[in-house]
Amino acid sequence: MSDMNLRPEGASERARYVLAFDTANEIIAIGLGVLHASSRMIELTASVEAEARRASNTQLLPRIDAALAEHGVAREDIACVAVGRGPGSFTGVRIAMATAKGIASALEVPLVGVSSLDAVAWNAWAAGERGSLSVVADAMRKEVYPVRYLLNDTGIERLEADRVVKAEDAARELAAEGDLSGSASATVPSRSDSPGSHETSAGRFGSTGAAPRSEAEQVPEGETRLVGAIADADPAEGDAWPQVSARLLCGDALKKYGELFEGCGAALPAELWMPTGRGLLLALQAAWRAGEADPLDARRHDPAFALPVYTRLSDAEENERIRLAKNDPKNLATGVQDVAKRADQRATMHDTAILNAQPDEHGITYKPLDAAHAGAVATLESLVMGSDAWSEALVADELPRADRVWWAAYEGEALAGYAGGWIVDGQVQILKVGVDPAMRRRGIARELLAHVAADARDLGASRCSLEVRAGNVGAQELYAALGFRSLGVRPRYYSDGEDAVIMEGPLPLARHDVAGMELVVGAASDDARSLRDEVQTDVSRETSERRPLILAIESSCDETAAAIVDGNGTLIADVVASQIDFHARFGGVVPEIASRKHIEAICGVCDECFDVAASALGIERLTWRDLDSIAVTYAPGLVGALVVGVAFAKGAAWAAGLPFIGVNHLEGHLYANKIGAPDFQPPAVVSLVSGGNTLLVHMKGWGDYETLGATIDDAVGEAFDKVAKALGLGYPGGPVISREAAKGDPNAIPFPRAMMHSGDLRFSLSGLKTAVVTYINNERAAGRELNVPNICASFQQAVVDVQVKKAEMALEQTGARTFCLGGGVAANPALRDAYEQLCERLHVRLTLPPLSACGDNAGMIALVALDRHNQGKFFTLEADAQAHANLDEPY
């Protein structure tokens, strides 16, 4: 199709627009176009690009808002959102993805993900470039994302899947391919004169540093421009692709590695190195015309399903793979070297981070396969695979390979099953799946496949394939239930002559509520559950009686949470998805994994929150536009985790036209006391004790706080985790140390009480932590068995004694007659008991949050947001996540 003046369909009807954007690198790219369903074409309205300078999260929505306003497009006119999935900067990609999820969720429209690299290639095509093109994007760590394309008048053809390689290796690969024509004198092909590619240099930016401009400025008034004229037919084989004499190069990696790639081809002008709005729309249009996407099908493109392209695991997972591939002696229960049996080595707080993965409801634990269990896999292989079984050496040889993923399931110390996959060309090929016959029909095979698929997705795979015996009907039924279909048969594939059925399908998902996590409903308040039961019987109550309705989101660490509070301060919905299972095997929270799981879970958590709230209100359905405000934790916490929540909440607030509220996470913990005691009012002294904070705060009033003292090194929760790690007790350390301490003597070991008599309200946990580890090392060196309960009880008592002493000083100093607790460590039974005794002795009111409200939850954020809404304290769309925030400073 070459007509660039196609008359818009249904000219008398309201146009349906697609909004596309990308922040995978230092450029914000925004595209706006009209969707034409019958022709599956997109009419270009605007293509805007601007430098972000590491500020995508503050600039993206204001620029989108300005683009729509300039062209008279209302938010209600947006029928689809398209977003660049990367690969690129992990944070940049997640900012765009989270914002897109928020916008699409609130507008209730499809969200289609497109490749950021494809957008670059399409933009080069639209500029008239033809021939062989390599897009080389910066992947940091001296690595790049290289993808090769062929460009002709018909469109572009991608020649390989996304991957990440060292920049030097990528340059070496391209140089080895050499001159495409065999000629030593390479020249750049001329621009095409095709109707879809008629732009001149005047219609394109002169450089990436130019001021933002819109391509719509180049369109004469009254003329309809399509983003591209892509022919219906594929190019004829053999002669459709132009003969080119040099490879073309573009991509932001050329900024950093230009010299490295000098001999690999001819670099295009710098203005063609980045994604553009037009490139994004062309990528979407191509997918639409190929049947790979439908921008008008909301069911097919649920925002929950859109995920970034990473092409690699987190650093923690990559390092784990390296370590597990080494065949060192391991403790079968923990999967790591047994510290207790190495008297010649000393333990530290970081001693191999005991990898105690959490067992599921069936008592099955899933972990990456390590070399120490290769023999057990080979034994099980011989039992279930017969003559096709792999040897121990072959299994062990698989584990260090970067393109392999292997997982194992254990019941106690016994191997219950295993599965492995090979990632190649954007697909994971399942190599093996085996389950102990005595443990079948417990969902083990499906869960193993889901774990392999999750890693494969992070490594760039989007599809899955496998072979299964023709006679194994049960396995074929399992795969069919997972969405696989038969592609054909490999005759006599197995060693005994049996045929193999080839099956292909989507990446299998775990059988959990969202993103491999179970949802906890009514997480912060048992009272909220009883309220819902009561209100459901009275369906006549109108939501207007409960105004304002505010949704709050919490994502500061490793919980993805959402809650809705009404104008009476009642939590009518409170949902949490905890990531603890994903972090436990590392002995602590891994920031990159936390951020990835938030982007996967946030839509599902919010959807469940709306369903619960609708039921509580006695109405059929509650939507984003039925709310009065949207709130989110903006600080303090892990920046990568906070960014997801902030970007999502801002996107939803913008799309729904609602006020946006930012909440300090620490203030949320203060408000958590209202969940268990609605009549609680300042003044009060509050002890905030968690994995990241140890504070004593004087609450003079709501929003008026003074920090009296804080830790000068480690937080209480951090000390619990590290001592538990040194003892080999797993993660999180607080609950397990508390359980062990209950069996021990708190006076058995005289551990130090740091700063107990310092005369001020500061804390220090580092010295105590070091003293405990030194004691452990000395006991092991002497050959004595550790008395774990006594160590835990003595350590815990040392912590409690200092906390209580400082609390008493704070109460005396301020004269407050109420004392409160907040933070995850506030759930510690010994600490709660000690504070009860203190307050009884001092005749001070003690307010304790419910145990369920001690950890991170969105209910406490919602309660803060309600007050801020009533006071008109709103944030602008330029707000961003912050790792640190001073509780004492108004915001």
**Which residues are known binding-site members for substrate?**
688-692, 721, 734, 828
- Give the per-residue SS3 of 402-445: CCEEEEEEEECCEEEEEEEEEEECCEEEEEEEEECHHHCCCCHH
Half-sphere exposure of 670 (CA within 13 A, CB side): 29
CA separation for the pair 433, 628 (Å, rounded): 50
Letter for the amino acid at 204? R
∠ CA(735), CA(741), CA(746), 5° rounding? Answer: 140
If you search the block for the tokens 């538990």, which residue do you land on? 724
* 3 state SS of 730: coil
**Helix (H) / strand (E) containing 382:** helix 374-384
Q: Residue holding tokens 């005749």?
A: 843
Please give the radius of gyration of the chain, using alpha carbons only, rounded to the nearest integer.
29
Q: HEC profile for 224-278? A: CCECCCCCCCCCCCCCCCCCCCCCEEECCHHHHHCCCCHHHCEECCHHHCCCCHH
Kindly give the pairing relationship between strand 131-138 and strand 111-114. Answer: unpaired
Token couple for 727 = 């003892």
Q: Which two tokens stand for residue 256?
A: 């950093």
How many Å apart are CA 667 and CA 635, to the nearest integer?
Answer: 10
DSSP labels, 707-728: EEEEBSS--HHHHHHHHHHHHT
HSE-CB at 405 with a 13 A cutoff on CA atoms is 26
Contact 483, 305 (CB under 8 A): no
Whether the CB-CB separation of 28 and 21 falls below 8 Å is answered with yes
Distances from the Cα of 526 to the Cα of 131, 372, 392, 532, angstroms: 64, 45, 51, 10
Question: CA quadruple 454, 456, 458, 461: dihedral positive or negative?
Answer: negative
Q: Please tell me the distance from the alpha carbon of residue 686 to that of residue 176, in angstroms, as a whole number.
A: 66
| 157 sits in which H/E element | strand 155-158
Contacts of 103 (CB under 8 A, 6+ apart): 19, 78, 81, 651, 652, 654, 655
Binding site, by residue number, is 665, 669, 688-692, 721, 734, 828, 856
Q: Which residues are annotated as a binding site for Fe cation?
A: 665, 669, 856
Amino acid letter, 243? Q
Verify cis geometry, omega within 30 degrees of 0, for the bond prior to 295: no
**Distance (Å) of CA 359 to CA 445, 635, 772:** 15, 32, 28
Per the listing, tokens 């054909």 go with 488
Q: Are 191 and 157 a contacting pair, CB within 8 Å?
A: no
Contact 469, 434 (CB under 8 A): no
Q: How many helices (H) and strands (E) does the chain have?
A: 23, 29
- What is the rounded distance in angstroms from the CA atom of residue 303 to the CA atom of residue 434? 34
Which among 574, 562, 561 is positioned nearest to 522, based on CA atoms? 574
Q: Please, are residues 44 and 219 in contact by the beta-carbon 8 Å criterion?
A: yes
C-alpha to C-alpha distances, 113 to 116, 281, 295, 382, nearest whole angstrom: 9, 11, 10, 43
Structure token digits, residue 444: 């083990």
